[in-house]
Amino acid sequence: MTSVVLDGIVLGLAFGLLGVGMTLVYGLGGVINLAYGQIVVFGAIVTSLVMEEGTSTLLAAAVGVLAAAGVCVLLDLTLMRPVYRQHGEERILLGLLLTLGVAFVILGLLTWRYPAGALYINISGEPVSILGVPMAVGSIWASVIAIAVGAALLLFFGLTTFGRGVRSVVQDEVGARLVGINPSFVRTVVFALSGALAGIVAITYSMSGPLTVNAGFELTTFALIVAVVGGLGSVAGAFMGGVLLGIVNSMSAHYIGQYYTSIILLGAAALTILIRPRGLLGR
């Protein structure tokens, strides 16, 4: 029982980290970034290429994270500009479709150039015992990184001036402009932040197994589901939704069977959306 729940939490933290990048960009720009999973894959491929050059894993990971953030900034400065000029559902829809196009382009380019590309960061070491359950070192590292990043984000949005500025833009764009915050700059920074998160997700995912070049679509759907369940725009909600879905996933895999797991997971997500369309912590 404990081991099942712990497994679920490990998986859920990874889910949560994945959902945060999606939820941030939605909360701020009103854009559901369907290219998100592909950006994760892009970060992974860059990292693996740098690692092949023989550099240290840490440096390679940093380059991968920066590359993913760079793609996001590029996206924000070019394709997302016409999206921000729209309002309401038009904006969401245009953002959705444009990022879908971007997802195709990135997927096509990556599978074309690196058809066998994959990232696997092998962390060797004896399993560590937590609450009497032996856990692999890789998943412990992944969870620690996820928790640290989550805590850093919450502190950033809660305590720093810039973080408060971001929240003010989420609440009211016009009001934020009136008190001297530049929404366009804030959006670019948050887009870059979500790209960096995508890079970090690539690193933590590849600690427990290889992240292959065509995992992008699945990652996007998971990020979307986690973000929606947690409440679009809420960082804490994304982590909560992630952990909840992670526990549901490992519980049903253990007690009901592997095959029904994904259906139960999707059912749980659909049920949450239907019962509480704003998500767990949505406004």
Interface with another protein (CB under 8 A): 32, 79, 82, 89-90, 92-94, 96-98, 100-109, 111-112, 115, 217, 221, 224-225, 228, 259-260, 262-263, 266-267, 269-270, 273-274, 277
Please compute Rg for the chain using Cα positions.
Answer: 18
142 or 245, CB closer to another protein?
Answer: 245
273 or 280, CB closer to another protein?
Answer: 273
- Minimal distance in Å, beta carbon 222 to another protein? 10
104 or 162, CB closer to another protein?
Answer: 104
82 or 134, CB closer to another protein?
Answer: 82
- Minimal distance in Å, beta carbon 272 to another protein? 10
- Minimal distance in Å, beta carbon 243 to another protein? 19
Contact (CB, 8 A) for 250 and 133: no
- Minimal distance in Å, beta carbon 158 to another protein? 28
32 or 203, CB closer to another protein?
Answer: 32
Contact (CB, 8 A) for 49 and 61: no
- Minimal distance in Å, beta carbon 112 to another protein? 4
CA distance 240 to 279: 10
- Minimal distance in Å, beta carbon 99 to another protein? 9
The amino acid present at 187, given as its one-letter code, is R
98 or 197, CB closer to another protein?
Answer: 98
Show the DSSP H helices in the chain as ranges: 2-29, 36-52, 57-77, 80-84, 88-113, 137-159, 161-171, 173-178, 183-208, 216-230, 235-255, 258-275
Residues 265-279, buried b or exposed e (16+ Cβ, 10 A)? beebbeebeeeeeeb
Closest CA to 38 of 217, 279, 260, 248: 217
